[in-house]
Amino acid sequence: MKLTFLGTGGGRFITITQKLATGGTIIEMDGEMIHLDPGPGALVRAKQYGVNLRNLTGIVITHAHPDHYTDAEMVCIAMTRGVKQTRGFVIGNEHLFNGSSDGNFRPVLSGYILKSVKKHKIMTPGDVFDTGNLRIKAVEARHGDPKALGYMIEGSKKIALTGDGEYYEGQAENFKGCDYLMINCLRPHNLRWPEHMNSETALKLISEVKPKLAILKDFGMKMIDGVAEKEAQWIEKETEIKTIVAKDGMKINDEPKLKISL
């Protein structure tokens, strides 16, 4: 299993300033190579960090906010080798494919793109998508996109993704038994923002899930300049669970043993 972080920023101000990159995360496991949330800069960051997007087998998107999907069509074009091969899959919520009747969300994946993809599926909480030796389960995320999702990806390892959204009672049940828990943590513990996680609620989720490794990412402006590192240290001290801060370009490889590198 290998994780490569093409970006660790989240929210509108990090995105427009690019103080942290917003290209998403690459998951490689059991013969699959999946791009999670290909936001602004995904193509450029992939090149920067030595990731060949033509080798992707799938794209997983949590919700229909632009910091999570902006480069999705171009990443699809890379995955389908310039729309020359029908291959790969795309999964995400209904708003990504159909937009919303109130006009707050528009489809972000055109028919031109989707016809070159082997499979695509609208996911709702509880839905399962099987690909190769992986099983991807959609879970509820409570966020400004009311159809936002998190995911549990199960194969030789179990990788949990909260997506954007606030903590809620029962959330931990979706992620029990995971090896890696990736949490979108917008703010430090003393600052809250509606419909997002901060490090206080991240701590609560981590203490309930008890992953082997907790990874904080998708930081807002209040978490830069060393703040996220201090918050991770605080969480680890309180929970006694290894908690790290994802960095742009960081790679986590657990074969044959866990290695974290930049």
Domain map (residue ranges) of the chain:
2-261
Place of tokens 């031109």: 112
C-alpha 247/C-alpha 203 separation (Å) is 19
User: Of the candidates 147, 52, 166, which has an alpha carbon nearest to the alpha carbon of residue 91?
Assistant: 147
Residue 257, pLDDT score: 85
- Locate 88 and state its tokens: 């790969």
pLDDT tens digit sequence for 186-240: 999 999 999 999 999 999 999 999 999 999 999 999 999 999 999 999 999 999 9
User: Of the candidates 177, 173, 133, which has an alpha carbon nearest to the alpha carbon of residue 155?
Assistant: 133
Place of tokens 């974290």: 260
What is the CATH topology of the domain spanning 2-261? Metallo-beta-lactamase; Chain A (3.60.15)
User: Of the candidates 175, 120, 132, which has an alpha carbon nearest to the alpha carbon of residue 151?
Assistant: 175
- Locate 37 and state its tokens: 């949330």
3-state secondary structure of 12: helix
CA diameter of the chain: 51
| pLDDT reading at 256 higher than 90 | no
Query: Residue 66, preceding bond cis, omega within 30 degrees?
Result: no
pLDDT tens digit sequence for 126-176: 999 999 999 999 999 999 999 999 999 999 999 999 999 999 999 999 999
- Locate 53 and state its tokens: 């997007």
pLDDT tens digit sequence for 45-89: 999 999 999 999 999 999 999 999 999 999 999 999 999 999 999
pLDDT-derived band at 255, boundaries 50, 70, 90: confident
Do 164 and 184 meet the contact criterion of CB atoms below 8 Å apart? yes
Residue 111, pLDDT score: 93
